[in-house]
């Protein structure tokens, strides 16, 4: 009987340690909304940052572009994203969408993703390139992503 209690206690301790360890490596996420304006246009990106240990992954999940009425029917805007890590002071390459984003003020789904090894402070930067006749206005916006 004593032997069975020791085994049960050890099994319980092992399970508790396993749960505690897996919780410390669990993914955590935080949502951000970033926007910028240029030439009468406003671009908004909806972002989820995910930390899994030292890996920082950032996903743009949706976008919305408000434009002047003269450009609302145009659908050749771009959204580009990169992330930066403070540990290495380096950026990822730009992840670029096709030149097909609509700018009618409607929130739409998109999928842009980047990852970087960064245990501390990171940031995500977006470039919107709006579509209008003539030269296309562009703007940049950045959001700092602390460890969480």
Contact 141, 125 (CB under 8 A): yes
| Mean pLDDT of the chain, nearest integer | 86
The Cα 104–Cα 67 span in angstroms is 7
- Dmax over Cα atoms in the chain, in whole Å? 86
Counting every residue written for the chain, the total comes to 148
Give the tens place of pLDDT for each residue, 82-124.
999 999 999 999 999 988 999 999 999 999 999 999 999 999 9
Rg (alpha carbons) of the chain, rounded to whole number: 22
Give the tens place of pLDDT for each residue, 20-39.
444 445 789 999 999 999 99
Phi-psi region of 93 (alpha: psi -120 to 50; beta: other; left: phi over 0): beta
The Cα 59–Cα 46 span in angstroms is 8
């Amino acid at each position: 009987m004593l032997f069975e209690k020791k085994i049960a206690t050890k099994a319980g301790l092992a399970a508790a340690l396993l749960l505690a360890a897996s919780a410390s490596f669990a993914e955590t996420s935080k949502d951000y909304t970033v926007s910028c304006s240029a030439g009468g246009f406003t671009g908004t990106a909806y972002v989820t940052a995910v930390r899994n240990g030292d890996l920082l992954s950032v996903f743009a999940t949706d976008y919305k572009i408000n434009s002047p009425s003269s450009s609302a029917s145009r659908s050749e805007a771009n959204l580009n994203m990169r992330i930066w890590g403070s540990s290495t002071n380096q950026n990822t390459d730009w992840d670029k969408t096709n030149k097909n984003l609509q700018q009618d003020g409607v929130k739409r789904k998109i999928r842009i993703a980047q990852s970087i090894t960064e245990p501390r402070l990171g940031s995500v930067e977006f470039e919107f390139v709006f579509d209008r006749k003539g030269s296309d206005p562009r703007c940049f916006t950045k959001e700092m992503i602390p460890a969480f």
